[in-house]
């Protein structure tokens, strides 16, 4: 299990075993939604806030 720092609060965030690029994980420290942008090494970025639209 790898981990990476939250880009907002700096807390260490543990990635699930089978984490995939694109997956969204929540920071346990500040609650920020983080996008897994790399798995080896683990890297996180703030997940874009995408308004969900009915005509998707």
Partner 1 sequence: MSESNAAVGPDQPPLIVKIGGARAVDPAGVIEDVAHVVAAGREVVVVHGGSTAVDDTLEAMGKEPEYVTTPSGVSGRFTDEETMGVFSMVLPGKLNTELVTDLRAAGVNAVGLSGVDGGLVTGPRKSAVRVLEDGKKKIRRGDHAGKPEAVNAGLLSSLLSDGYVPTVSPPMLADDGTAVNADADRVAALLAAELGGELVLLTDVEGVYADPEDPDTLIDAASTPAEFAAVEDAAEGFMSRKVHAAEEALSGGATGVVISDAGLRKPLLAALDGHGTWID
Which residues would be at the binding site for partner 1 (CB under 8 A)? 20, 22-24, 35, 47-48, 50, 52-56
Interaction partner, residue 32 (partner 1, Zn ion, none; CB < 5-8 Å by kind): Zn ion
Residue 5's binding partner among partner 1, Zn ion, none (Cβ under 5 to 8 angstroms by kind) is: none
Contacts of 8 (CB under 8 A, 6+ apart): 27, 30, 32, 46
Residues 22-51 that bind Zn ion (CB under 5 A): 27, 29-30, 32
**10 Å Cβ neighbour count for 34?**
23
């Amino acid at each position: 299990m790898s981990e990476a720092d939250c880009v907002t609060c700096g807390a260490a965030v543990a990635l699930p075993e089978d984490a995939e690029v694109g997956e969204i994980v929540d920071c346990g420290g500040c609650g920020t939604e983080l996008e897994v942008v790399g798995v080896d090494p683990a890297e996180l970025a703030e997940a874009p806030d995408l308004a969900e639209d009915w005509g998707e």
